[in-house]
Structure 1
Amino acid sequence: MQTPTAESSTPSSSTPGVARVIRLHPQDDVVISLGQLVSGTPVPSEGITVAGLIPPGHKMATRAIAPGTPVRRYGQIIGFASQAIQPGQHVHTHNLAMGDFARDYAFGEEARPTIPAPAPATFQGIVRADGRVATRNYIGILTSVNCSATVARAIADHFRRDIHPEALADFPNVDGVVALTHGTGCAMDSEGEGLALLQRTLGGYACHPNFASLLVIGLGCETNQIPRLLATQGLQDNERLRAFTIQDTGGTTKTIARGIELIREMLPAANAVRRETVPASYLIVGLQCGGSDGYSGISANPVLGAAVDLLVQHGGTAILSETPEIYGAEHLLTRRAQTPDVGRKLVERIRWWEAHCARNGAAMNNNPSSGNKAGGLTTVLEKSLGGIAKAGSTNLVEVYEYAQPVQAHGLVFMDTPGYDPISATGQVAGGANLICFTTGRGSAYGCAPSPSFKLATNTALWERQSDDMDLNCGEILEGRRTIPELGAELFQRLLDIASGERSRSECHGYGQQEFVPWQISVVV
């Protein structure tokens, strides 16, 4: 059993007047439309005729499907027919629903050794004094609580190149000063899991190699006290990390002034860096998909998976996340677990999510979103099967909880929600120095301090929103490129981005507002 990819998919003929569809697996009950299909259009490859209107990226039945019968895409179950479906009909939320079925986890049965690349790929990284490698060189401002967000942003704004170009004119090697604020830090259990998770997230950012130095600013009376935050994360106030509060400093105006002065003192040392050649094994890439569509699991996600396989062969690390968005497809990962214990850790996180949803009166199938459904995805099972294609084909070597430091090399999993800003925040806290983000609907997202690289699933999106996209994977659907070919190009592009080339989201200034730690505690 293999992770779904589109590498062996079968597009139909492009003959005028004939429906263009793609079949992903011989056992599938559906094919995917490559354009809008109208009733009466023949589909010679399937021996059927279109019955009704089928939007681009949506599913069409290839056989009669009785109510209650499982429906397959990628050779896997994506749901069960809620009513009779005839050949050629649209298959979507009106006639396809979730259902329970057994999954064979087969822990580690498909794990295989990864053959290292004969010669290591390299990029131009920034080597810190302790040996860690950065892809960017920022000065950061973290807040212990929402109450200090305004002063943090005011300090960062003083150094914005688009507003005050003179502020960093003498420091060209500094990528910028960013304030990463959030909406929590108080009114929570001081001994609870929620505060510990927030502190772990802030600690991960404070230690991130993409920060040359940083400030930590609090109000003073919050639950998330700075001395305890520093102590729990093994941090100390020093020349690289300065921590203080508004109340101790004497109010807003004095705090802003103090923050500006401290950053001015940090700038010369932050600027005294140079990039040097380092192996790709220092890359830790967070994998994200948002605004997914029916093409995500056919084009952009498999392309990213091909690049991940290359990254792992070169000794690097990829972090798959978004636990609710592997739900129903987790058995394809447990089979690739390097050890049975790794596979069991993944299942434990799935069970936690089931219990978490039950406690809160939610359902795992509240995903896909409205945009996902408009793009052709019907159930979370279908979304998950396409989503794990980002993970390529190598072994799953470790499973981490949210924002835990990622120390293993290879493909790992981090437990996060499916909401992209929260998920990517956990990945960066864990050490990701680059984010890869696939989208079919046109997600506008960036991440600081780690650059985010955006992959469009289809050419229509690329042409409509190329201002936000870095790579067009729609060429896969058009038969102009292959997945291995575009995966190799993506891998090289990631090395270029890691070497300092700016991504589209960086050009637009995305990143500060997208810092969203996962809040799971009761707010009182």
Structure 2
Amino acid sequence: MPTTTEFAAGAPLATLAASTEPIIRLHPADDVVIARHQLVAGMRLGDGVTVRGLIPAGHKVAVRAVETGAPLRRYGQIIGFATRAIASGEHVHTHNLAIGSFERDYAFGADIRPTAHIRPPAQFQGIVRSDGRVATRNYIGILTSVNCSATAARAIADHFRRDINPQALADYPNVDGVVALTHGQGCAIDANGEALDVLRRTIGGYARHPNFAAVLIVGLGCETNQIDGLMQGQGLEGGASLKTLTIQSSGGTARTVAAGIEQIKAMLADANQVQRQAVDASHLVIGLQCGGSDGYSGISANPALGAAVDRLVAHGGTGILSETPEIYGAEHLLTRRAVSQAVGEKLIARIRWWEAYCARMDASLDNNPSAGNKAGGLTTILEKSLGAVAKGGTTNLVDVYRYAEHVDARGLVFMDTPGYDPVSATGQVAGGANLICFTTGRGSAYGCAPSPSLKLGTNTALWQRQQEDIDLNCGAVVDGTRSVDELGEEIFRLMLATASGEKSKSELHGYGQNEFVPWQLGAIT
């Protein structure tokens, strides 16, 4: 079987040719080029390539004939295998390209290199908690142990909504809001199983998150996920900034809501006693996400975000790459950057878990890309993964974490999560991410209180269509007017500004409460 060790994807690109060029060529070994705009039959692309048929923007066109069963490369890497003979100039997509097995050379640590740390590091205006943790926002959170207490939790939070009750927080301008993060789990699961462990780890991570000045946990009372067990298992201690309530003990819904409102009122004065101050960028922990990806994601926004992550790491900060099914087929590019074989093998163990998980569920890892991804030009998970890993930049991979596990390393790390964005980002925030950077080519609208989320668009057409949701247009890379490195610097500066309190587009729209989605594992009985 062929191997994919000869080139490395994900390195920042130089400025592309001017937008008058109809295609983007990413690597001399590639069998395909990318359409910068719609191509029509008869167009000549150079090197004797004539377009056969209509090829949408962001999609692939073959630059040489490929036999049935032969591998096709993009970024110099295998993205799939021809399911039938493909002629030069032909559209390459789901009708003639599919995933297949091939060997990866994991070459643990082959590409590690020293990190050139910048001194003094950049700074942002953060909120320093009494125990030294640094926040980028200042919320009060209402968490739930079970779905059954979700309505009560939402009612408590609604009392403090500025758009419903403007006076409720009028005296507390330093409090960003009171948010209820509810979910659909907490009962009918194994009391000693993995599903409950993951849920408790997620809730515990949010309860400890520095972006919460205080937290109220609301339960029903008879659920499997007992609050006492949650508190003990996660090492949480009740006090002025961590309170609990159960509906059954409080005497019903109305009394629970009234009691919860009083608990939050008692927390507000202390929560308001914060002032932002200059702190090093080493306190930034950035969750890296991509959703609604397209054929440009791996060319523009993802590598630009990777260039920003390289800067973040150089300044002492942390980037969390995740979405394990969306690095499948590109994991060998990360193991080469693992600081040790043990770290690399931790990553491969998660890949093997996903392979077994999909086999048990009679599913395929190539269920991803989604319909929207494919409409945008992505064909196989291999292709999507090669573009997705670019978000992690080029620095060393220093550790691998389980879902929602607390991230204590600095540098680029990996957290095992599903590819579904709300579930993935929920795990990252539980692990300590105090900011999310989210690339999108189709137009994702997403937020994740208590951490702000920045949207990075992959193409200028998206920016022109959906500016109200997108914080920065990375389509200038595709247009040939700016380089990946230039945009990486702009993204890094935007990270610092947002961490300092500048609101993201999703925050302005009020996103964040509905996007709390813990990973649900195991049988529901």
- Tell me whether 1:31 sits opposite 2:37 in the alignment: no
Cα distance in 1 for partners of 2:181, 2:497 equals: 26
Corresponding residue for residue 361 of structure 2: 360
Cα distance in 1 for partners of 2:244, 2:171 equals: 25
Q: CA deviation at 1:48?
A: 1.0
Cα distance in 2 for partners of 1:97, 1:363 equals: 12
TM-score for both structures, normalised by structure 1: 0.98
Task: Assess if the C-alpha contact under 8 Å between 2:80 and 2:380 holds in 1.
Answer: yes
Task: Assess if the C-alpha contact under 8 Å between 2:136 and 2:499 holds in 1.
Answer: yes
Cα distance in 1 for partners of 2:306, 2:485 equals: 9
Matched letter for residue 31 of structure 1: V
Corresponding residue for residue 431 of structure 2: 430
Pairs within 5 Å for 1:32-71? 32-44=34-46, 46-71=47-72
Cα distance in 2 for partners of 1:240, 1:436 equals: 29
Cα distance in 2 for partners of 1:454, 1:281 equals: 22
SS in 1 for 2:419: coil
TM-score for both structures, normalised by structure 2: 0.98
SS in 1 for 2:245: strand
- Tell me whether 1:133 sits opposite 2:138 in the alignment: no
Corresponding residue for residue 399 of structure 2: 398
Corresponding residue for residue 117 of structure 1: 118
Pairs within 5 Å for 1:243-262? 243-262=244-263
Corresponding residue for residue 521 of structure 1: 522
Q: CA deviation at 1:118?
A: 3.3
SS in 2 for 1:60: strand
Matched letter for residue 24 of structure 2: I
Q: CA deviation at 1:279?
A: 0.1
Cα distance in 2 for partners of 1:75, 1:279 equals: 38
Corresponding residue for residue 323 of structure 2: 322
Corresponding residue for residue 13 of structure 2: 7
Q: CA deviation at 1:521?
A: 1.6
Corresponding residue for residue 372 of structure 2: 371
Corresponding residue for residue 496 of structure 1: 497
Q: CA deviation at 1:11?
A: 3.7
Gaps of 5+ in 1: none
Cα distance in 2 for partners of 1:25, 1:9 equals: 14
Q: CA deviation at 1:89?
A: 0.6
Matched letter for residue 206 of structure 1: A
Task: Assess if the C-alpha contact under 8 Å between 1:9 and 1:24 holds in 2.
Answer: no
Q: CA deviation at 1:42?
A: 1.2
Corresponding residue for residue 421 of structure 1: 422
Cα distance in 2 for partners of 1:8, 1:494 equals: 22
User: Once the two structures are superposed, what CA deviation does each residue of 1:85-108 show, in whole Å capped at 9, x if it has no partner?
Assistant: 111110000000111010000000
Cα distance in 2 for partners of 1:20, 1:93 equals: 22
Corresponding residue for residue 278 of structure 1: 279
Task: Assess if the C-alpha contact under 8 Å between 1:286 and 1:436 holds in 2.
Answer: yes
Pairs within 5 Å for 1:154-165? 154-165=155-166
Gaps of 5+ in 2: 1-6
Task: Assess if the C-alpha contact under 8 Å between 1:11 and 1:21 holds in 2.
Answer: no
Cα distance in 1 for partners of 2:468, 2:522 equals: 38
Paired-residue identity, %: 68
User: Once the two structures are superposed, what CA deviation does each residue of 1:63-82 show, in whole Å capped at 9, x if it has no partner?
Assistant: 00110010000000000000
Corresponding residue for residue 473 of structure 1: 474
Task: Assess if the C-alpha contact under 8 Å between 2:15 and 2:480 holds in 1.
Answer: no
Pairs within 5 Å for 1:51-200? 51-200=52-201
Task: Assess if the C-alpha contact under 8 Å between 1:142 and 1:217 holds in 2.
Answer: yes
Cα distance in 1 for partners of 2:129, 2:458 equals: 36
Corresponding residue for residue 345 of structure 1: 346
Cα distance in 2 for partners of 1:246, 1:216 equals: 11
User: Once the two structures are superposed, what CA deviation does each residue of 1:414-456 show, in whole Å capped at 9, x if it has no partner?
Assistant: 0000000000000000000000000000011111000000000
